[in-house]
A and B are shown apart, each in its own frame.
Chain A
Amino acid sequence: MSTLLKLPITPSSPFPVEEVRADFPVLGQTVHGKPLVYLDNAASTQKPQTVIDTQTDLYSTYYANIHRGVHALSERSTAAYEAVRTKVQRFIHARHPEEIVFVRGTTEGINLVAQTFGQMRVQAGDEILLSAMEHHANIVPWQMLCAQKGATLRVIPIHDSGALDLEAYENLLTERTRLVALVHISNALGTINPVRQLIAMAHKRDIPVLIDGAQAISHLPVDVQELDCDFYVFSGHKLYAPTGTGVLYGKAELLQAMPPYQGGGDMIRTVSFAKTEYAPPPAKFEAGTPDIAGVIGLGAALDYLQNLGLESIARYEAGLLHYATKALSDIPGIRLIGTAPEKASILSFVLAGVHPHDVGTILDRAGIAIRVGHHCAQPLMERFGVPATARASLAFYNTPQEIDALVRALHYVQEVFG
């Protein structure tokens, strides 16, 4: 317990980490005979019992397809599903529930914007602005759009710390820029971008901004009205919710102006073979039967997080990150990739003389799950001159003792590699 005392947590608001851990059944197991230390939260988070129970309850008692049924079960399912839209709206402080489009995840959300809004707005010779720290999901859809339209991707460089080069950003915003697409928190560096400022700079030139909130949504309170972003996308599975769920937030007037994404059921008002009239948003973007159970599970995850309190989560995680950064920095031969002053919950590193893949294998045998590789951010790895990194990413259910276990295992890696 002594290590806990080193955390800068105010005594008036201790975080009940042991109680919280008990809410996540997966955390109680051993792996290779060692207590599981799950530090791969940037890839996906574990699910609390309440999320699991909520899905089981749906399937056990009131599951039916939504929106079209006139029977009791369908009404109940529909109500539960649509209630989550309002929960999401409140969670990210959107103006209207109609601004919340359910998608399969961040990747689908970005593709949707690229292939609707992007198709509508971008012409030959135009430019789309991204940062050097984007992951593939916020690069490839724009590349595809550029190829379709004869437009060009421009890349905002980053400093050696992993912080965005604001001066370069300012200069890259031109009359040719049609859209800025930026990550809120980098999945490979942990950098928290000053998105409010970045959005304001783009808006001065009437350039819309999409924020990829895949990592941010679980670590920071997000207020889309305060940010004034035009689009905000995130995945449920990184937010302690089921896989296959995600959210695209878009300003109402933009969603109304956008063409539909996929054609099919639920996105229409009337269909004849001559002409289809589309439903208003968000239905216009939600063709086909969605992940009903997943979305209802997402609602349970949001309730769970709000009970804990996002401020409280952010404060605890900041303390944990501080502790982990110090503990890892003390290991000889370690190089932390991503040391921006504003950072969240992600520790990317390389150990001298040991490939990250070997680090991952040895840690796994100690029961410690981390991610190794290029984190779907290959251009970023090139920027730092490494083929890959080892990445420990934290959640509020992690503890300083688990960081100590990570440090011990890294010392063992170095012992093996002599």
Chain B
Amino acid sequence: MSELRDLYQEVILDHYKRPRNFGVLPQANREAQGHNPLCGDRVTVYLHLADDRVQNIRFQGSGCAISTASASLMTEVLKGKTLAQAEELFANFHELLTGAQEAGHSPEVGKLEILAGVRAFPVRIKCATLAWHTLNAALHNSFAAVSTE
């Protein structure tokens, strides 16, 4: 059961029960919706982009512990980042989950490492990346919808 404990760590459960930056962002100028048809999870990511930076970010939706915690952690690490930094973080996070990378390049990736336990549960990787794919859509289109399928 140790893999389960690695997956459902205190920090993840805390972010699931008390997600950070949860809700609508009234001044958002980008927004995207993500959907995982496998489990019915839905997430909307709201971004306020200005001067090439994520000035503010929020998310809303319903999902499992992994997808909710991942979205919550994502909003924490992205605030204030440039677009280039955001894309780099996404790439690093993806590598982290698919096992291509053991340790983080930056303190932000380090914080996301809490989700590395997902590696032992391949069917749950989509849960962890849903918010990030949705973010990606929001960064590149003003209004968009993505699906994990």
A residues in contact (CB < 8 Å) with B? 353-358, 361-362, 365, 372-374, 378, 381, 387-388, 416-418
Whether B39 pairs with A372 at a CB distance below 8 angstroms is: yes
Whether B40 pairs with A365 at a CB distance below 8 angstroms is: no
Whether A388 pairs with B40 at a CB distance below 8 angstroms is: yes
Whether A355 pairs with B1 at a CB distance below 8 angstroms is: no
CB proximity of A25 to chain B, nearest CB, Å = 25
Nearest neighbor of B63 in chain A, beta-carbon distance:
A355
**Docked pose: A387 CA to B5 CA in angstroms:** 25
Whether B3 pairs with A417 at a CB distance below 8 angstroms is: no
Whether B40 pairs with A418 at a CB distance below 8 angstroms is: no
- If A387-B40, A387-B42, A388-B40 touch, whether A355 touches B4 (CB-CB below 8 Å) is no
CB proximity of A414 to chain B, nearest CB, Å = 12
In the complex, which range does the number of interface residues on chain B fall in? 20 to 34
Whether A357 pairs with B39 at a CB distance below 8 angstroms is: yes
Whether A356 pairs with B39 at a CB distance below 8 angstroms is: yes
The residue in A353, A355, A373, A388 that gathers the most chain B C-beta atoms within 10 A of its C-beta is A355
Whether B8 pairs with A357 at a CB distance below 8 angstroms is: no
CB proximity of B96 to chain A, nearest CB, Å = 19
Whether B4 pairs with A365 at a CB distance below 8 angstroms is: yes
The residue in B8, B40, B62, B66 that gathers the most chain A C-beta atoms within 10 A of its C-beta is B40
- If A358-B66, A417-B8 touch, whether A381 touches B40 (CB-CB below 8 Å) is yes
Nearest neighbor of A33 in chain B, beta-carbon distance:
B1
The residue in B39, B66, B121, B123 that gathers the most chain A C-beta atoms within 10 A of its C-beta is B39
Interchain CB contact (< 8 A) of B8 among A356, A358, A373, A387: A358
CB proximity of B40 to chain A, nearest CB, Å = 4
B47 at the A interface (CB under 8 A): no
**Docked pose: A381 CA to B42 CA in angstroms:** 14
Interchain CB contact (< 8 A) of A355 among B5, B7, B64, B121: B64
Q: Fill in one digit per residue for B24-43: 1 if any A CB lies within 8 Å of its CB, else 0.
A: 00000000000000111110
CB proximity of A136 to chain B, nearest CB, Å = 11
Given contacts A357-B64, A388-B39, A416-B13, 13 further A-B contacts (CB under 8 A): A354-B65, A357-B39, A357-B41, A361-B7, A361-B121, A361-B124, A365-B3, A374-B39, A374-B40, A387-B40, A387-B42, A416-B5, A417-B65
B97 at the A interface (CB under 8 A): no
**Docked pose: A362 CA to B62 CA in angstroms:** 19
Whether B39 pairs with A373 at a CB distance below 8 angstroms is: yes
Nearest neighbor of A417 in chain B, beta-carbon distance:
B13
**Docked pose: A373 CA to B13 CA in angstroms:** 20
A358: chain B residues at CB < 8 Å are 8, 64-66
**Docked pose: A230 CA to B127 CA in angstroms:** 43
A-B contact pairs, 19 of them (CB 8 A): A353-B17, A355-B39, A355-B63, A355-B64, A355-B65, A357-B39, A358-B64, A361-B123, A362-B4, A365-B1, A373-B39, A374-B40, A381-B40, A387-B40, A387-B62, A387-B63, A388-B40, A417-B65, A418-B13
A374: chain B residues at CB < 8 Å are 39-40
CB proximity of A36 to chain B, nearest CB, Å = 17
Nearest neighbor of B123 in chain A, beta-carbon distance:
A361
The residue in B5, B42, B62 that gathers the most chain A C-beta atoms within 10 A of its C-beta is B62
B13: chain A residues at CB < 8 Å are 416-418
CB proximity of A333 to chain B, nearest CB, Å = 14
